[in-house]
Amino acid sequence: MSTPAGQRSRKDLACTAEATAYQKAFGAELKRRVVENGEPFVVAQADTPHEIFHVMDIALISNQWWSAYISAKQLSARYFDAMVAKGYPDNSCKYCSLGLACTLANDPASAPWGGLPKPVALVARLTCDCIQQVFMQWATALDTEFFAMEAPAWTHKDPAWFAHSNRDWESVYETDRISLMVEEMRELIDLLERKTGRRFEQAKLEALMLKINEQEGYIAEAARMIGEARPCPVSIADQMPNTMIPQWHRGSDWAVAHARKFRDEVADRVARGIGVASNEKLRLMWIGAGVWHDPGFYQALEERLGAVFVWSMYMPFAGPQYIRELQGRTMDALASRICSMNEVLHLPPWMNGWMVSEAERCGIDAAVMLIPPDNRLSQSGTQLTAQSLEDAGVPVLRLGADMVDAKSWDHAAMVALVENFLREAKLL
């Protein structure tokens, strides 16, 4: 396939423009703090305890956010080519290694911010075989330390984890796994205090966790309304930024207020019967990370075919995975959130149990599943989830493409692929 530039998405909500403006300003401020002022910062995976960095006022660059940022600037192909030229395999897991590729390319003229300076540490959970290699080599390239966090297996596997994870988090996620994560978080705090001179305060964490509960409650309300409403009031082109941008700032005054504003705008559209398509006929489910280089893909069939992407993982994930009754054990409650985040999104029986339930809740007619060819998790657990959905009567299109690497993506061809799938499934 050729690689024409991705299509822009249509934004229907006023709060979407506010969220993207806030994130743009935040990016500029983060660059000022990190690049211009030389403040200490960390690079961390999305499934690590960001709350610790926020409490300590340590600037944070999420690896996934950085990858999406690079991809949106249409730079991924250039950096992956540079990575291969340096002897790395061309089938590296793209989402986690794009930041490393940018560093290895060492091209300040093209790199966002001129490239990353030296962070205090790189932090990641060892959720797959490649992540340790990516982060160890990235730490070497940036001349810093890699802080690895374990991802131990569960002995108790509850496919309905989402039904009681807010309150019964210790039984769902297991005492030993939580205790190990707490121990590692305390080691991380020690490292950060030693390297930055800043201090961690337990009272600040407790206050932050309560505000996060409030924020995620608003997002969960919005997810419930969107799933119940006919027609769908908000497409995932608006759902994603209004969920994910506040998540990068979770617990801040702005994030809580914005989540409330988003909930209220969704409620208003539901009350007025506003739909994203003038004649909704099919409700689609998107499974996987966003295609960050072509956000307009999700809206391409709304008006012509009445096919609306109603669901993606980001918004409905907020309620079951982030909200925690603290029970006087704030660190343990945080650990229960972190020690399971990647697994419940990508591995059976948690992934398929949740997504089959969500498909039923939202009245999904068909699912489109992103399967990045070089992502090992998506070659195993995701395929089993596809089978579970099909067994439940939901046809699934398996889309072989990558969320940040645009080299194998063609907008028109991918839209045609979805349309042909819907026709072959006799949904049109």
Nearest to 232 by CA among 324, 137, 362: 362
Reported pTM: 0.92
Beta strand ranges found along 1-87 (DSSP E): 41-44, 59-62
Residue 291 lies in a domain: yes
Residue 6 lies in a domain: no
pLDDT tens, the chain, 428 aa long: 344 556 766 778 999 999 999 999 999 999 999 999 999 999 999 999 999 999 999 999 999 889 888 888 888 889 989 999 999 888 777 778 899 999 999 999 999 999 999 999 999 999 887 899 999 999 999 999 999 999 998 898 899 999 999 999 999 999 999 999 999 999 999 999 999 999 999 999 999 999 999 999 999 999 999 999 999 999 998 999 999 999 999 999 999 999 999 999 999 999 999 999 999 999 999 998 777 667 778 887 888 899 999 999 999 999 999 999 999 999 999 999 999 888 898 888 999 999 999 999 999 999 999 887 766 665 667 888 999 999 999 999 998 777 666 677 888 888 899 999 999 999 98
Contact 291, 6 (CB under 8 A): yes
Residue 8 lies in a domain: no
Residue 82 lies in a domain: yes
Q: What are the C-alpha distances in Å from 348 to residues 61, 292, 339, 383?
A: 29, 25, 16, 10
Residue 351 lies in a domain: yes
The tokens for 199 are 């201090």
Residue 7 lies in a domain: no
Residue 3 lies in a domain: no
Contact 67, 95 (CB under 8 A): yes
133: enclosing H helix or E strand: helix 131-142
Residue 5 lies in a domain: no
Look up the domain containing 67 and give its range. 14-424
282: enclosing H helix or E strand: strand 282-287
Q: Total domain count for the chain?
A: 1
